């Protein structure tokens, strides 16, 4: 396993100057995002900001919760259908994973796919997730390149691949963090990075009873609440904000009409807050929320329609009934 050049820097052996400029770029992006989104109505912050090192670790812990079934359901499907998915990759082929997190799902897929000498490109904006992912793939017959950046940045930085097929993996229902126009736009960028005949493996969570959805996003142990409130910790530590954590409550709601679970941070009282690093100062009313994540839930045919509108053709769809989760294999047309 080797780790090669990254979109913004190298995963291993980074100089301290490189690490500092990477941290500066990440803080600038966070400040720009906070300035823009916290002034919207309703106030919001994009879910990509949930994933600093602590956020990534909290997400990994959430995957072990009995109420968060996505990870186990998707892993079952990956194991069961790895050989067939592997055929889309072929010997020496390239797998590109967007938002790889800790890399365990890709390690599971490659362990069971029986593909010789694949190459893997991992794209994630969490540096700590990339480090874990590179480690998860150590010892497997795979050459790893990590790209530290957003999905779009990583896809645009991919080198052309004229000789071998590419399998693009977007797992964990990360697609559900985008509203329908955003998901279509991202699928367009994905399609632009592929050649006809290449493959897309899309994991997407399905609509299920409201009680199950809410338990997954407002778990009785309070891990998802900690994951959500960590955004306030990030605002405090990185942008010098003065959010008091006891002034906010985690809330998950099922928006049936939009078919999405929303996560919010609810202000428990009227309070003035300052975010000096983003040049912001505002007052939150009691009960006012900051909307921090959307997780769209799909019917199986929604997934096909979404990708087929973006020049993909569905080849296979597998559903895990226990978790109500779908893994769909598409071909770029």
Ligand X SMILES: C[S@@+](CC[C@H](N)C(=O)[O-])C[C@H]1O[C@@H](n2cnc3c(N)ncnc32)[C@H](O)[C@@H]1O
Nearer to ligand X, 125 or 278 (CB): 125
Site for ligand X contains 99 (CB under 6 A) = yes
Binding residue for ligand X, selected from 9, 126, 131, 314, defined by CB under 6 A: 126
151 contributes a contact to ligand X by CB under 6 A: yes
DSSP letters for 192-251: HTS-TT-EEEEEEEBP--HHHHHHHHS-TT-HHHHHHHHHHHHHHHHH-----GGGEEEE
DSSP E strands, the chain: 3-4, 94-98, 119-124, 143-148, 166-170, 199-205, 248-255, 260-267, 271-275, 280-284, 289-296, 312-320, 325-332
Residue 219 binds to ligand X (criterion: CB under 6 A): no
Alpha-carbon distance of 122 to 133, in angstroms, equals 8
Measure CA 305 to chain center.
Answer: 21
Stretch that binds ligand X, among 98-106, 248-256, 278-286, 305-313 (CB under 6 A): 98-106
> Minimal distance in Å, beta carbon 105 to ligand X?
5
- Asked if 295 is part of the footprint of ligand X (rule: CB under 6 A), the reply reads no
Asked if 174 is part of the footprint of ligand X (rule: CB under 6 A), the reply reads yes
Q: Which is nearer to ligand X, 121 or 284 (CB)?
A: 121
Does 248 contact ligand X by CB under 6 A? no
**Which residue in 108, 111, 150, 184 binds ligand X (CB under 6 A)?**
150
Residues 6 or more apart from 235 whose CB is under 8 A from it?
Answer: 34, 241, 243, 275
**Cβ-closest residue to ligand X?**
172
- Is 125 an interacting residue with respect to ligand X (CB under 6 A)? yes
10 burial level (CB within 10 Å; 0-12, 13-18, 19+): middle
Check binding of 85 to ligand X (CB under 6 A): no
Cross-strand pairs, 120? 95, 144
- Considering only the stretches 21-29, 75-83, 93-101, 191-199, report the one whose residues sit in contact with ligand X under the rule CB under 6 A: 93-101
Chosen residue from 48, 229, 250, 297 binding ligand X by CB under 6 A: 48
Residue with the two structure tokens 């992006």: 29
> What residues line the site for ligand X (CB under 6 A)?
48, 51, 56, 59, 71, 99-101, 105, 124-126, 129, 150-151, 171-172, 174
């Amino acid at each position: 396993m080797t780790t090669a050049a990254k979109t913004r820097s190298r995963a291993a052996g980074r100089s301290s100057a490189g690490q500092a400029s990477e941290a500066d770029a990440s803080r600038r992006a966070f400040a720009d995002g906070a300035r823009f989104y916290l002034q919207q109505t309703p106030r919001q912050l994009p879910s990509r900001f949930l994933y600093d090192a602590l956020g990534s670790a909290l997400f990994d812990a959430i995957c072990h919760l009995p109420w968060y079934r996505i990870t186990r359901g998707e892993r079952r499907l990956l194991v069961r259908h790895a050989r067939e998915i592997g055929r889309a990759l072929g010997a020496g082929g390239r797998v590109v994973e967007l938002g790889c997190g800790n890399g365990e799902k890709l390690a599971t897929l490659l362990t069971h796919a029986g593909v010789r000498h694949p190459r893997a490109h991992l794209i994630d904006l969490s540096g700590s997730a990339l480090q874990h992912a590179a480690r998860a793939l150590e010892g497997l017959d795979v050459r790893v390149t990590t790209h530290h950046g957003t999905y779009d940045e990583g896809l645009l930085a991919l080198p052309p691949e004229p000789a071998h097929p590419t399998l693009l993996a977007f797992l964990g229902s990360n697609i559900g963090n985008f509203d329908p126009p955003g998901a279509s736009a991202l699928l367009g960028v994905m399609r632009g990075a592929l050649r006809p005949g290449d493959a897309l493996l899309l994991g997407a969570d399905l609509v299920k009873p409201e009680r199950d959805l809410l338990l997954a996003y407002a778990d009785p142990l309070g891990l998802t609440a900690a994951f959500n409130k960590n955004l306030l910790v990030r605002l405090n530590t990185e942008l010098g904000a003065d959010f008091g954590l006891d002034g906010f409550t985690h809330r998950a709601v099922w928006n049936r009409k939009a078919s999405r679970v929303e996560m919010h941070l609810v202000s428990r009282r009227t309070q003035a807050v300052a975010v000096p690093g983003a040049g912001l100062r505002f007052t939150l009313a009691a009960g006012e929320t900051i909307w921090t994540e959307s997780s769209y839930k799909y019917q199986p045919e929604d997934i096909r329609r979404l990708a087929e509108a973006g020049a993909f053709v569905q080849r296979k769809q597998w559903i895990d009934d226990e978790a109500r989760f779908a893994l769909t294999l598409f071909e770029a047309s």
